[in-house]
Amino acid sequence: MRTWIASIALAVGCSSTQPTPAILSQPVRPRIVAHRGASYDAPENTLSAFRHAWELGVECVELDVHVTRDGEVVVIHDDNTKRTAGLDRPVAAQTLAELKALDAGTWKSRAFADERIPTIAEAIATIPSGRTMFIEIKSKEHTAPVIASAIRAANPSASGAEIALQGFEPRALAAFAAELPWAKAYWTVMPPLDEQDRPLPYPRSVVAEAQRHGFPGIALLYVSVTDELLDDARAAGLLVDVWTVNEAPQLASWYGRDIRWIETDRPDLAPRR
């Protein structure tokens, strides 16, 4: 869903009606998040995508997780393996061994033919010291304890890595956050759409809703973020993450805004420090 609406957002972002984000009064630089890894250059949500992103110097990598039939936690965006691994079958209906037998790279390029669907432990093991990984829960709230247990078992703090949480569904994200209280939770919110399915500005009530759920952060489609919403978020002490900014001019613009994170498929285009 986020990929679909990001393509709409790109078109909207070129329009003169795009909301202009607020300018920082203090020179605090946002951090770059590689969305599903360096997913423009490598197959999304794979170890190759994560390692390439870290090599590019990003501060954070974002990924998505699902739970297998045998209770393992794997990194994949869709709840079905058809798009990225060629088998039209739900992730939850397959064991880890079955998923590991699939080719998760050829859809992108033959150069990635040996790529496999990683476990969350394998993904966490790639994080350099001092950097962060956003883990987005894609399944229902009952899976939160299993996912959290796998994250704890991977022991990211031992290598100096940090974990943050994301999710669209408030109840699932709240359950996830309750299991990992030391990790900040960012509520990912879809913007309203007009009759042609084009994104509209977020209502300012998003801030109050995030507070009501107890989330310290919100993750928002960048073209739907207004000055007023950023002002409200700042006043409420909410951290803001924007997604998915894939053009160099927009990346440069957002790099000077009062937000915490910028998600992109193109970390290679991000302004250099």
Percent of the chain at pLDDT exceeding 70: 89
Give pLDDT tens digits for 97-111. Answer: 999 999 999 999 999
User: From the CA atom positions of the chain, what is the Rg in Å?
Assistant: 18
**2-66+128-269: CATH topology:** TIM Barrel (3.20.20)
Percent of the chain at pLDDT exceeding 90: 88
Tally of CB atoms within 10 A around 235: 9
Residue 68, pLDDT score: 98
Give pLDDT tens digits for 141-154. Answer: 999 999 999 999 99
Ordered by start, the domain boundaries in the chain are 2-66+128-269
36: left (phi over 0), alpha (psi -120 to 50) or beta: left
Banded model confidence at residue 22, pLDDT cuts 50, 70, 90: very low
Q: Which residues contact 64 (CB under 8 A, 6 or more apart)?
A: 36, 45, 75, 76, 77, 136, 138
Average per-residue pLDDT for the chain = 92
25: left (phi over 0), alpha (psi -120 to 50) or beta: alpha
Banded model confidence at residue 17, pLDDT cuts 50, 70, 90: very low
Residue 28, pLDDT score: 65
Give pLDDT tens digits for 224-272. Answer: 999 999 999 999 999 999 999 999 999 999 998 989 999 999 999 998 7
Q: How far apart are alpha carbons 144 and 178 in whole angstroms?
A: 9
Tokens 């939770």 appear where?
A: 185
Average pLDDT of the segment spanning 129-137? 98
Banded model confidence at residue 29, pLDDT cuts 50, 70, 90: confident
Give pLDDT tens digits for 174-209. Answer: 999 999 999 999 999 999 999 999 999 999 999 999
In a 13 Å sphere around the CA of 188, the CA atoms on its Cβ side amount to 21
Q: How far apart are alpha carbons 59 and 40 in whole angstroms?
A: 17
